[in-house]
Structure 1
Amino acid sequence: MRTPGEFRIVDQLQRLGEDIDHQELRYHRKRVLVCKEFTFDAAHHLHAYEGKCKNLHGHTYKAVFGISGVPDDVGITVDFGDIKTIWKESIEPYLDHRYLNETLPKMNTTAENMVVWLFEQLEMALSTRIHQTSEATTRTEFVRLYETPTSYAEARREWMI
């Protein structure tokens, strides 16, 4: 008998239909949270603000997306690759290596304004791009936008509805 911490090579690769049945792939029917992070570099400045940020400057931002749902019949809530596709096609083109005052809707480009825009973009993309069933509805739970490694703004589902 092997101990849990002992190194070993797998004796036999598990096979679907022989070692595990399709109906065993989903372990539960509970809502879970899936998160994915992205970074982007952008420039902006703030209007009607007396401080350093009134001048044109840049940040390396980090966006964290929290999406919840009930796993499908193979145990996946939302594919990480699908979240990446949403980011690459629907959100990143407006942000990465851009002048945010030009590419975002008319607003003061504060983290507080931008995080709500990110929430709206993700929610819209989830509703149109991800297959939704009555049981496995995915939804945006939160978006967190770091402007610096220690400063962020957050939009949560309960505040957006």
Structure 2
Amino acid sequence: MSIIRITKHFDFETAHALYGYDGKCKNIHGHSYQLYVTIVGTPINDANHVKNGMVLDFGDLKKIVKSEVVDIFDHATVLNANSPHKELAAKIESHSSRVILVDYQPTSENMLVDFADKISKKLPKSVNLHSLKLCETNNSHAEWFAEDQ
């Protein structure tokens, strides 16, 4: 049976700030992120199986990514908990309940590492996470590939 990759696209809005950065991104700002999640596996080959012919139902992949990434990060402010931004987060939280403190600088690169870990843990054993692509703007993106890890 053939090895197949399937990809699902997700959109979410997130604000962040990069502590210690030497450019504009040191200020809180937002992005309309586009996340592409690609998994790899062998399609189910069982005429009696309700998911026959699928590597994984796109709906099942959607549930995993929404619960692990989109529903958490959408319309949230993400700040580095290991920086003075922790104090800023406390102030923001009094006006908004959607503040996430992460243990890393919230760049697209580091967010991908976090997302890959979260998504991989929830995938069925029959499939593997192949790659992630996170577009921060229309002309800037970061990618994560399992083969590089």
**1:110 corresponds to which residue?**
107
Measure how far apart 1:104 and its partner are: 5.0
Is 1:100–2:78 an aligned residue pair?
yes
One-letter amino acid of the structure 2 residue matched with residue 45 of structure 1: A
TM-score by length of 2: 0.79
Which structure: greater strand fraction?
Answer: 2
**2:14 corresponds to which residue?**
42
The 5 Å alignment of 1:76-95 reads 76-95=54-73
- Change in CA separation of 1:68 and 1:56 when aligned onto 2, cut-off 3 Å: same
The 5 Å alignment of 1:1-161 reads 29-73=1-45, 74-101=52-79, 102-126=99-123, 130=124, 132=125, 137-160=126-149
Q: Within 1, Cα distance between the matches of 2:53 and 2:67?
A: 26
CA RMSD between the two structures: 1.2
Q: Within 1, Cα distance between the matches of 2:75 and 2:24?
A: 20
- Change in CA separation of 1:104 and 1:91 when aligned onto 2, cut-off 3 Å: farther
Unaligned ranges ≥5, structure 1? 1-28
Greater CA radius of gyration, 1 or 2? 1
Measure how far apart 1:93 and its partner are: 2.6
Measure how far apart 1:42 and its partner are: 0.7
TM-score by length of 1: 0.73
**1:6 corresponds to which residue?**
none
Alignment size in residue pairs: 124
- Residues 91-100 or 60-69, more deviating: 91-100
> Helix, strand or coil for the counterpart of 2:102?
coil
Q: Within 2, Cα distance between the matches of 1:118 and 1:149?
A: 20
Contact 1:116–1:155 at 8 Å: present in 2 too?
yes
- Change in CA separation of 1:41 and 1:53 when aligned onto 2, cut-off 3 Å: same
Runs of 4+ aligned structure 1 residues displaced above 4 Å come to none
Unaligned ranges ≥5, structure 2? 46-51, 80-98
Measure how far apart 1:47 and its partner are: 1.1
Measure how far apart 1:94 and its partner are: 2.1
Percent identity reads 35
* Per-residue CA distance 1:111-140 (angstroms, 9 max, x = gap): 1101111111111110xxx3x3xxxx2000
- Greater relative contact order (CA < 8 Å, ≥ 6 in sequence): 2
